[in-house]
């Protein structure tokens, strides 16, 4: 129940914030037209009801989830991976995206991919850089050169 | 129709289109044959590549991935006992048994034959039904379109997995995301926080790219870090060669193939059902025909494969005629159509009839390719099973940036893609299904737009939605879909009480 309660609380806080934003939207000026507030308001109301219902719903045990899904029964259930590791990978990739914004696609991507490879255990850094550079090069030639699709340019240079 | 057919033939047979169909088919087969990778990821990967292409080759490559992906799931299902896609889960039961008895080649041959049979059967149905349905749909007004899309959205219920509550919440969140940007009727800004790049709204493609690709990428990286064997699957190194079914086998399974293909096509046409359900239903038919099913019978391989490939043409019916995707793969396809300026719906048949028929012929060519590639290249796919997933994921990670940026050449979309990926990861971790959110994001704008337009036409009277028989029927169907999970346990309880 604890996990569902936390998620439901986060959702309710979000709904209240979004509902506040919705109240700031202007009223309609057309006859019979419900206006820009109506649709988001209905969606938020339904979300609030379901979030409250989720708050009082018992957390489903892992075994129950597996039993309930007949189609997935053929594959072996996999153990849950630590959240911390995933968030670190997300953080590194986000830093990479910011880097791409400033220095452009080629340099930014090589640095960010190399960092991620290092994080997942490619301790030989030159190998990680070489692999990242190869991937970047292939993408550069495929998009910029062959397909003439522009890649992100850096704001600094 | 004949005019469109000949024009479509001319377009589909251009060498450029054939080349892209071939590339797409190979990619779909490869992705589907590696357990843990989905052909939805392959579709996402190919979307940025299609930006530089004309609409027909662009759609051809994606159709190749779709059909190849549906068919390729059987390779690992038979050789490893692990379905490459959820649709191939039923194929494992008999296919793996046959492989263990040294009949992998025979099982693979039957899987290829059945896949092509199901795919071509569904294509014929698509060609007959879709143009007629499009003609009817042309007469729909805002009230009918609203009701139809609400019905399409109600399939969230069947896509919600184990928690209906979480599925509905995901769908509603998707609807809320569609309200960001310009209001569809009055053109006012909503939830843009003064950011000009948010005025066009939250793009479908960056969200899809992030949500489908990131959970897979992060999980693969984490498993690689923990050395849990992502790069090496225990493939059997036996020499595998697909052997085509004999004439006797084809004759004895012909009716079963027809039945299974019809099940697949019929279920594929209903949004929210898809391959896994169709293949298990067809497998049940095979079990009735041959009681040896489950112990390595050829019917147990053919029936599910015909059914899940029948889904491809079936799923194209609501997608092309009504613009309603039934699952994640068709939602991605819808996004690709929109990017290339082709809005699926009845007008597509009216304005781009030649392109629609080119798509039909492309599907036919793709299935011939599936047959040839899988039949002669099966040894290559056995090797593909050993390909290190981490290397592939690094390439996909790089493509997520390109794919999200290249749609509008807007860096804001890369940021949206990242946060959608993070959200997708968290949703998957905490048991929230992703597909309802995607489906709602795709359909949300149409729902609000048509609801409000219908009310303008009726001077604010809600009666407009029940006065039209078409609208009324779709709304009742949607209500049944939504209430079914609540009513079903009550009926089962009553049936048990009656028995007692």
**What residue of A is the nearest CA neighbor of B397?**
A113
> Residue B340 in 3-state DSSP?
coil
CA distances B76 to B80, B86, B237, B378, Å, are 5, 12, 13, 11
Chain length of chain A: 157
- Judge whether residue B214 has pLDDT over 80: yes
CA distance B126 to chain A (A): 27
Q: Of the ranges A11-20, B375-384, B470-479, which is most confident?
A: A11-20
Domain residue spans in chain A? 2-74, 83-146
What is the ipTM metric for this complex? 0.87
Of A67, A36, A5, A78, the residue nearest B184 (C-alpha): A36
At A20-47, the pLDDT tens digits run 999 998 887 777 788 899 999 999 999 9
Of A89, A94, A131, nearest to B221 by CB-CB distance is A89
| HSE, side-chain direction, 13 A CA sphere, residue B414 | 27
- Judge whether residue A75 has pLDDT over 50: no
Chain A contact set for B51 (CB, 8 A): 147, 149
Q: Which of A24, A48, A50, A133 to mutate to test the interface with B (most CBs of B within 10 A)?
A: A50
Q: According to the model, what pLDDT value does residue A2 have?
A: 85
Q: Of the ranges A15-24, A72-81, A143-152, B134-143, which is most confident?
A: A15-24
Residue A93 contacts residue B397 (beta carbons within 8 Å): yes
Confidence of residue A85 (pLDDT cuts 50, 70, 90): confident
| Angle of helix B164-177 versus helix A38-55 axis, rounded to 10 | 150
At B72-131, the pLDDT tens digits run 878 877 887 777 777 777 888 888 888 888 888 888 888 889 988 998 998 898 888 888
Structural tokens at position A36: 């820009």
Residue B1: CB atoms within 10 Å: 9
pTM: 0.79
Q: According to the model, what pLDDT value does residue B97 have?
A: 84
Asked if the C-beta of A13 comes within 8 angstroms of chain B's C-beta atoms, the answer is no
Confidence of residue B419 (pLDDT cuts 50, 70, 90): very high
Q: Report the alpha-carbon distance of residue B460 to residue A14 in Å, rounded.
A: 31
Q: According to the model, what pLDDT value does residue B414 have?
A: 92
Of A21, A43, A81, nearest to B219 by CB-CB distance is A81
Residues 6+ apart with CB under 8 A from B245: B106, B109, B110, B113, B253, B298, B302
Contact A31 B460 (CB under 8 A): yes
Q: According to the model, what pLDDT value does residue A19 have?
A: 96
Q: Report the alpha-carbon distance of residue B438 to residue B178 in Å, rounded.
A: 11
Where is average pLDDT lowest: B218-232, B312-326, B468-482, B485-499? B218-232
Of A54, A89, A152, nearest to B218 by CB-CB distance is A89
Asked if the C-beta of A25 comes within 8 angstroms of chain B's C-beta atoms, the answer is yes
Q: What is the DSSP string of B257-278?
A: HHHHHHHHHHHHTSTT--HHHH
DSSP B160: S
Q: Of the ranges A52-56, A153-157, B25-29, B395-399, which is most confident?
A: A52-56
Confidence of residue B171 (pLDDT cuts 50, 70, 90): very high
- Judge whether residue B415 has pLDDT over 90: yes
CA B22 from centre of chain: 19
Contact A50 B169 (CB under 8 A): yes
- Judge whether residue B15 has pLDDT over 90: no
Of B71, B72, B60, the residue nearest B122 (C-alpha): B71
The angle formed by the CA atoms of residues A80, A84 and A89, to the nearest 5 degrees, is 100
Contact B162 A65 (CB under 8 A): yes
Structural tokens at position B250: 């084809």
Q: What is the DSSP string of B34-93?
A: STT--HHHHHHHHHHHHTTS-HHHHHHHHHHHHHHHHHHHHHHHHHTSS-SSGGGHHHHH
CA distances A75 to A115, B40, B86, B284, Å, are 32, 19, 9, 20
Q: Report the alpha-carbon distance of residue B52 to residue B58 in Å, rounded.
A: 8
Asked if the C-beta of B119 comes within 8 angstroms of chain A's C-beta atoms, the answer is no
Q: According to the model, what pLDDT value does residue A74 have?
A: 45
**What residue of A is the nearest CA neighbor of B226?**
A120
DSSP B198: G
Contact B92 A74 (CB under 8 A): yes
Chain B contact set for A35 (CB, 8 A): 186
Segment B437-456 shows an average pLDDT of 88
Chain A contact set for B420 (CB, 8 A): none
Asked if the C-beta of A67 comes within 8 angstroms of chain B's C-beta atoms, the answer is no
The strand pair at B189-190 and B181-182 is best described as antiparallel
Contact B390 A38 (CB under 8 A): no
Confidence of residue A68 (pLDDT cuts 50, 70, 90): very low
Residue B254 contacts residue B303 (beta carbons within 8 Å): no
**What residue of A is the nearest CA neighbor of B93?**
A74
Chain A contact set for B38 (CB, 8 A): none
Q: Report the alpha-carbon distance of residue A150 to residue A143 in Å, rounded.
A: 7
CA distance B333 to chain A (A): 20
Q: What is the DSSP string of A28-81?
A: P-STT---TTHHHHHHHHHHHHHHHHHHTSPPPPHHHHHHH-SGGGGSPPPPPP
Q: Report the alpha-carbon distance of residue B147 to residue B447 in Å, rounded.
A: 8
| Angle of helix B328-339 versus helix B204-225 axis, rounded to 10 | 130
Confidence of residue B230 (pLDDT cuts 50, 70, 90): very low
- Judge whether residue A65 has pLDDT over 60: no
Asked if the C-beta of A30 comes within 8 angstroms of chain B's C-beta atoms, the answer is yes
Segment B280-294 shows an average pLDDT of 81
Of B139, B437, B115, B136, the residue nearest B264 (C-alpha): B115
Chain A contact set for B49 (CB, 8 A): 142, 147
Asked if the C-beta of A63 comes within 8 angstroms of chain B's C-beta atoms, the answer is no
CA distance A96 to chain B (A): 10
Structural tokens at position B92: 């494992």
CA distance B230 to chain A (A): 12
Q: Report the alpha-carbon distance of residue B249 to residue B188 in Å, rounded.
A: 64
Q: According to the model, what pLDDT value does residue B173 have?
A: 95
* Enclosing H/E stretch for B189: strand B189-190
For A20-39, letters b (16+ CB in 10 Å) and e give eebeebeebeeeebbbbbbb
Could you tell me what percent of chain B has a pLDDT over 70? 93
- Judge whether residue B454 has pLDDT over 70: yes
Mean of per-residue pLDDT scores for chain A: 83
Segment B215-240 shows an average pLDDT of 65
Q: Report the alpha-carbon distance of residue B252 to residue A73 in Å, rounded.
A: 30
Asked if the C-beta of B401 comes within 8 angstroms of chain A's C-beta atoms, the answer is yes
CB pairs < 8 Å spanning A and B: 186
Q: According to the model, what pLDDT value does residue A157 have?
A: 66
DSSP B326: -
Contact A25 B456 (CB under 8 A): no
Structural tokens at position A86: 């995933």
Asked if the C-beta of A15 comes within 8 angstroms of chain B's C-beta atoms, the answer is no
Segment B18-38 shows an average pLDDT of 83
Contact A43 B451 (CB under 8 A): no
Q: Report the alpha-carbon distance of residue B184 to residue A34 in Å, rounded.
A: 12
Confidence of residue B273 (pLDDT cuts 50, 70, 90): low
More confident residue, A51 or B293: A51
Structural tokens at position B400: 């997520």
Segment B329-341 shows an average pLDDT of 84
Segment A72-88 shows an average pLDDT of 66
Mean of per-residue pLDDT scores for chain B: 83
Domain residue spans in chain B? 2-484
Confidence of residue B234 (pLDDT cuts 50, 70, 90): very low
Q: According to the model, what pLDDT value does residue B425 have?
A: 93
Q: According to the model, what pLDDT value does residue A78 have?
A: 55
Contact B165 A53 (CB under 8 A): yes
More confident residue, B181 or A62: B181
Contact A44 B456 (CB under 8 A): no
Residue B300 contacts residue B293 (beta carbons within 8 Å): yes
Beta bridge partners of B329: none
Beta bridge partners of B190: B181
- Judge whether residue B236 has pLDDT over 60: no
Q: According to the model, what pLDDT value does residue B376 have?
A: 81
Could you tell me what percent of chain A has a pLDDT over 90? 46
- Judge whether residue B54 has pLDDT over 60: yes
Q: According to the model, what pLDDT value does residue A61 have?
A: 53
- Judge whether residue A112 has pLDDT over 70: yes
CA distance A126 to chain B (A): 16
Residue B171 contacts residue B440 (beta carbons within 8 Å): yes
For B466-477, letters b (16+ CB in 10 Å) and e give eebebbeebbee
Residues 6+ apart with CB under 8 A from A136: A105, A106, A109, A110, A113, B398
CA distance A157 to chain B (A): 16
């Amino acid at each position: 129940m604890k996990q569902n309660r936390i998620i439901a609380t986060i959702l309710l806080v979000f709904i209240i914030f979004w509902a506040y934003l919705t109240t700031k939207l202007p009223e309609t000026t057309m006859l019979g037209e419900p206006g820009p507030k109506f649709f988001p308001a209905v969606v938020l109301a339904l979300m609030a009801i379901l979030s409250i219902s989720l708050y009082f719903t018992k957390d489903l045990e892992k075994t129950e989830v597996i039993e309930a899904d007949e189609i997935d029964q053929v594959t072996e259930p996999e153990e849950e991976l630590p959240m911390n590791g995933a968030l670190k990978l997300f953080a590194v990739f986000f830093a990479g995206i910011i880097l791409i914004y400033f220095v452009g696609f080629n340099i930014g991507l090589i640095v960010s991919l190399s960092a991620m490879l290092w994080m997942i255990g490619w301790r030989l850094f030159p190998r990680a850089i070489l692999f990242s550079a190869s991937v970047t090069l292939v993408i550069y030639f495929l998009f910029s050169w062959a397909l003439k699709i522009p890649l992100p340019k850096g704001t600094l240079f | 129709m004949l005019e469109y057919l000949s024009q479509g033939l001319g377009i589909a047979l251009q060498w450029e289109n054939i080349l892209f169909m071939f590339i797409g088919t190979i990619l779909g087969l490869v992705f589907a044959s590696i357990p843990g990778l989905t052909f939805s990821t392959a579709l996402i990967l190919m979307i940025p590549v299609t930006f530089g292409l004309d609409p027909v080759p662009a759609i051809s490559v994606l159709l190749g991935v779709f059909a190849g992906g549906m068919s390729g799931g059987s390779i690992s299902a038979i050789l490893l006992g692990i379905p490459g896609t959820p649709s191939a889960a039923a194929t494992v039961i008999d296919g793996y048994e046959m492989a263990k008895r040294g009949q992998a080649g025979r099982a693979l041959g039957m899987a290829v034959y059945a896949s092509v049979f199901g795919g071509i059967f569904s294509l014929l149905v698509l060609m007959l039904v879709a143009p007629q349905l499009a003609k009817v749909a042309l007469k729909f007004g805002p009230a009918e379109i609203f009701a139809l899309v609400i019905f399409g959205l109600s399939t969230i219920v069947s896509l919600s997995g184990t928690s209906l509550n979480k599925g509905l919440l995901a769908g509603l969140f998707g609807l809320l995301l569609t309200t960001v940007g310009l209001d569809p009727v009055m053109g006012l800004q909503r939830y843009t926080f003064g950011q000009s790049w948010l005025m066009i709204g939250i793009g479908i493609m960056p969200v899809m790219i992030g949500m489908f690709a990131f959970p897979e990428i992060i999980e693969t990286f984490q498993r690689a870090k923990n050395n849990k064997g992502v790069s090496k699957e225990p493939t059997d190194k036996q020499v595998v060669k697909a052997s085509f079914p004999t004439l006797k086998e084809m004759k004895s399974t012909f009716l079963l193939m027809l039945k299974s293909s019809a099940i697949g096509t019929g279920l594929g046409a209903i949004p929210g059902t898809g391959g896994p359900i169709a293949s298990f239903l067809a497998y049940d038919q095979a079990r009735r025909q041959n009681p040896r099913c489950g112990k390595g019978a050829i019917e147990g391989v053919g029936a599910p494969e015909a059914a899940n490939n029948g889904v491809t043409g079936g799923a194209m019916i609501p997608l092309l005629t009504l613009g309603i995707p039934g699952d994640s793969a068709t939602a991605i396809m819808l996004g690709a159509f929109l990017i290339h300026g082709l809005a699926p719906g009845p007008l597509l048949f009216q304005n781009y009839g030649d392109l629609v028929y080119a798509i039909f012929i492309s599907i036919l060519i793709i299935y011939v390719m599936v047959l040839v590639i899988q039949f002669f290249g099966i040894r290559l796919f056995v090797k593909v099973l050993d390909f290190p997933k981490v290397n592939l994921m690094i390439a996909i990670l790089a493509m997520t940036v390109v794919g999200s940026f290249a749609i509008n050449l807007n860096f804001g979309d890369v940021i949206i893609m990242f946060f959608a990926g993070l959200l997708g990861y968290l949703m998957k971790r905490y048991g929230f299904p992703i597909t309802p959110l995607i489906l709602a994001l795709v359909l949300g704008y149409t729902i609000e737009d048509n609801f409000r337009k219908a009310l303008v036409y009726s001077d604010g009277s809600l009666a407009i939605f029940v006065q039209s028989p078409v609208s009324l029927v779709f709304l009742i169907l949607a209500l049944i879909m939504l209430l079914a999970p609540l009513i079903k346990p009550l009926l089962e309880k009553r049936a048990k009480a009656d028995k007692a």
